[in-house]
A and B are shown apart, each in its own frame.
Chain A
């Protein structure tokens, strides 16, 4: 039984401003929010007493901030950020003092993820590498290659998404053409790879331009499934006019458990999260017919595309702007979203 009713969800707090946010992380206990934006800054908000203005702005990056994570290290809490400026920066989470700056990738840093124990940071970038870092020292532990540098049509590719399993053992990464790779974090061994071609559009006759890719990627709480999200086949690449599309895979086999859209809604799922304790998969995105949060109910757990379709029954919440990133508050009681010129807090229960 779930206590969440997507039909009744409304934002509890919205911060609208000129910045478009691409990344955020939240301290569930204090409700403090760190959001990275297109102004190259990390804006810090006190979510417990939401102000109109951020309580601090950390400006060291020289381009869009695309990833932020909160690491609770022995020396104290640290924010680690990644940017299109190719850098990773470690910040004192309280003061904003820069602890270290590390060259991250030879290309835009697209996303970051942190192991639950805070020991390892994983980054992905447009050099198509997955990099594992010692979160404490900033030392590069290993660099994992395998995603193709180019699309099958000879264009530059991108490595959009990364996820870590709840036990910190597995890394998943997803690229522009729909290739998913799963690696064992400890050894760096490739454990699995599979393709999700629905999420990549390239029409060699009508629409000769790539669009889509794996944009949302997350492990289920039990670590047995991987959810991937993006946009289905796009009939006109001038816009994100394809259907919202998610798939859930048994990544070990690998085999698709189910796929679903959002009742004909169009758009791109840019981030995906499983609820930490309730049976919901939630996506955030935009394009098509507007910004959205989409809720797929996993009780009973779908085991086919038909059941996946039933998992979405009108559970789409409109957001006035593209949603780029999602994060959980304490125990999944609140969902935080960041996107086009806005931050929102969504009380779920």
Chain B
């Protein structure tokens, strides 16, 4: 009798031994990767996960962050605005003075300064950047986060595979996790109104122990059944039950009252800071794909006042996050991305604003698979166009997949049609890859 060991992505390396879960009884059956949070942990599983676990933490800057006030400043030019540039830890690389903490960490960060993505409308641009391609009417492409979660996730994982924290109304609809043709099994957990996942409360008449015992009994019976009948359906049910139980326990991941106040203070008591801390907790717990959205970058008016606030916050939150991940040994296995739907116009409008601009803008990659200190692409002296190293949305997707060890040209099947993960003409940005 063979025991089914289906790795989620097909690779034997990604198999979690279910016996390891079950042999420890209730206490360990569900304690897959939640170490550091007071949960029981199977050390063999943890070691296995640590060896190969990779994650993505996407900082989604909704509304369109200005590249001129962040990663591609043009001080002294008519388009430059009032902020100066500062030298970073990488000789010759300058970024906005609004990012002094990040400047010290730029040897870990790669900048792409040559995004030319053409679409300057929020919804369409957000969908394109999140999916790595222009939406097509015939094919519901999943977003990059869903593909990352599918590729990196574990079939029996007791934690969600894709968590999106997006508690702003701006751009929310266009940037929700989207499973597309992969279906509901891969739907991400989208937290939009509160940090408490909805509909996962334990029934009031059951104690936690009673609930866990029921689950243990259900698992025991289904295992017995499955030993005699190799049934994918049962595996699927088990997976679903494990995920539900996991989601219920994952509730604690979002409870920052469990964090020492000093840690919360370190991230800053802004909403973005606290959400980033949750993101780190989720990564640490084994969630492969986390998206943290910080909205309200759409600065058609008073651009410099808004970016003074938002970029200063980004500087603090992002630098704290990178250092925290590094100190916990997680940065090497976590790809941290800053990305928007587009950038902002070099021309400063009559209301001291910058408008939508998709012709020459920037994003960053840090951590897993990334060559820190790299800068890809160049814009002209006023930042109006890309003069070197043009990059499109598909290239960003291909770069993300490649950095994580996922073949961007791998295909899924939609009926008889092969669908490549990244568009066929997309190429990973070699400059920024380790």
Contact = CB atoms under 8 A, between A and B. Distances in A.
A225 B352 CA distance: 31
Interface stretch (B51-59, B105-113, B176-184, B267-275): B267-275
Contacts of A153: 270-271
B351 A287 contact: yes
A239 B78 contact: no
A209 B306 contact: yes
Contacts of A211: 302, 305-306
Nearest to A286: B351
Interface in B300-320: 300-302, 305-306, 308-310, 312-313
A56 interface: no
A209 B296 contact: yes
Interface string A118-155: 00000000000000000000000000000000010111
Nearest to A320: B350
Interface in B364-398: none
Interface residues of B, number: 31
A206 B169 contact: yes
Nearest to B349: A340
B295 interface: yes
B351 A322 contact: yes
A64 interface: yes
A213 to B, nearest CB: 8
A239 B300 contact: yes
Q: Which of B273, B296, B353 has the most CB of A within 10 A?
A: B296
A155 B352 contact: no
Contacts of A286: 350-351
Contact of A208 (B78, B168, B268, B350): B168
A178 to B, nearest CB: 14
Interface in A183-241: 206-211, 237-240
A154 B351 CA distance: 26
Interface in A297-324: 321-322
A108 B97 CA distance: 13
Contacts of B300: 238-239
A38 interface: yes
Given A208-B296, A209-B296, A237-B296, A154 B352 contact: no
A255 interface: no
A322 B82 CA distance: 17
A294 interface: no
17 contacts: A20-B348, A38-B82, A63-B84, A108-B82, A153-B271, A155-B270, A155-B309, A155-B313, A207-B296, A208-B296, A209-B306, A211-B306, A238-B299, A239-B351, A240-B302, A291-B350, A341-B350
Given A209-B309, A340-B351, 4 more contacts: A155-B312, A237-B306, A240-B302, A341-B350
Interface of B: 63, 78, 82, 84, 168-170, 268-271, 273, 295-296, 298-302, 305-306, 308-310, 312-313, 348, 350-353
Interface of A: 18, 20, 38, 63-64, 84, 108, 151, 153-156, 158, 206-211, 237-240, 268, 286-287, 291, 321-322, 340-341
